[in-house]
Amino acid sequence: MASESSFDVVSKVDRQEVDNALNQAAKEISQRYDFKNVGASIAWSGEKIVMTANSEERVKAVLDVFETKLIKRGISLKSLDAGEPKASGKEYRLEAAVKEGIATDEAKKISKLIRDEGPKGVKAQIQGDELRVSAKSRDDLQAVIAMLKGADLDVALQFVNYR
């Protein structure tokens, strides 16, 4: 077993970077001319991010500003789960959640992709909200990483504990 190499496939988000992006977006929204007198705001509400404005277009523009800040900070938009704007009294609200961890059905899909398209002898095990990939050859593991980076999946993936 000592000659076996492995790595973990995870989906994690640096909360501090999300917080920094949110603060930058809030500052830009407070200063931009097109957001004056529309009641536009963005803030944490527990584990969710709540955006408000007086029209559906404005609240979508707030989301766009926030997404731009996330991209600049190197956070994938696949980890942001934004809903649809809802009318709440005179204002529109949009809630977004930050997704962390790989859901079981996504993990099964990734595991099947590795089995079907990956090199022979590569094993994938689901461990909670992450996936452990192991093989005898490190070259096979690097081929799996390249394949997963090229695959069009619904989650943002990181590769950790490569040994």
User: Could you report the per-residue pLDDT of 61-105, keeping only the tens digit for each?
Assistant: 999 999 999 999 999 999 999 989 999 888 999 999 998 888 888
Longest dimension (CA), the chain: 65
CATH classification for the domain delimited by 5-12+102-160, as one of 3.90.700.10, 3.30.70.3270, 3.40.50.300, 3.30.70.860: 3.30.70.860
Q: Which two tokens stand for residue 26?
A: 């809030």
User: Could you report the per-residue pLDDT of 16-62, keeping only the tens digit for each?
Assistant: 999 999 999 999 999 999 888 888 999 999 889 999 999 999 999 99
C-alpha 162/C-alpha 141 separation (Å) is 9
C-alpha 143/C-alpha 135 separation (Å) is 11
Fold classification of 15-98 (topology level): Alpha-Beta Plaits (3.30.70)
Residue among 2, 6, 3 nearest 144 (CA):
6
Q: Where in the chain is the domain with CATH 3.30.70.860?
A: 5-12+102-160
Q: Which two tokens stand for residue 163?
A: 């040994």
| pTM score over 0.75 | yes
The pLDDT of residue 163 is 84
The pLDDT of residue 71 is 94
Q: Where in the chain is the domain with CATH 3.30.70.990?
A: 15-98
